[in-house]
A and B are shown apart, each in its own frame.
Chain A
Amino acid sequence: MFLFTVKPFRVVGDEENLPFAPNSFDVITSNLALHWVNDLPGTLKTCRRLLKDDRLFIASMFGEGTLQELRNCLILAENERHGGISPHISPYAAISDMGNLLGKAGFALTTSM
Chain B
Amino acid sequence: MVVFDRAVSKLQQKNRAALHPDSQDFDYLKDEINNRLLDRLEDVYSHQFTNVLEMGSGPGTSTLKFMNEREDVQLLVQQDTSFPMLSRDVELIPKDSRCMLCWCISFWPCF
A residues adjacent to B (C-beta < 8 A): 2-20, 24-34, 36-39, 47, 50, 54-56, 58-60, 90-91
**12 A-B pairs whose Cβ atoms sit less than 8 Å apart in the complex:** A3-B68, A4-B97, A5-B68, A6-B97, A10-B101, A13-B103, A13-B104, A25-B77, A26-B50, A27-B52, A38-B1, A47-B55
B53-A28 in contact (CB<8A): yes
A58-B55 in contact (CB<8A): no
User: A12–B101 Cα gap in the complex (Å)?
Assistant: 7
A29-B104 in contact (CB<8A): no
Q: Mark B69-111, 1 if CB is under 8 A from A, else 0.
A: 0000111111111110011000001100111111110111100
Contact partners of B107 in chain A: CB under 8 A: 13-14, 17-19
B residues adjacent to A (C-beta < 8 A): 1-4, 6, 10, 29-30, 33-34, 36-38, 40-41, 44, 46-58, 60, 63-65, 67-68, 73-83, 86-87, 93-94, 97-104, 106-109
B33-A18 in contact (CB<8A): no
List the A residue with the shortest CB-CB distance to B65. Answer: A2
B51-A25 in contact (CB<8A): yes
B6-A29 in contact (CB<8A): no
Can you add 6 more A-B contacts, CB < 8 Å, to A6-B76, A26-B49, A60-B33?
Answer: A10-B80, A12-B102, A16-B6, A33-B57, A58-B38, A59-B37
User: A4–B94 Cα gap in the complex (Å)?
Assistant: 8
Contact partners of B41 in chain A: CB under 8 A: 27, 56, 58
B48-A36 in contact (CB<8A): no
| Partner pick for A25 among B34, B52, B68, B109, CB 8 A cutoff | B52
User: A13–B83 Cα gap in the complex (Å)?
Assistant: 9
B47-A6 in contact (CB<8A): no
A30-B83 in contact (CB<8A): no
User: A14–B99 Cα gap in the complex (Å)?
Assistant: 19
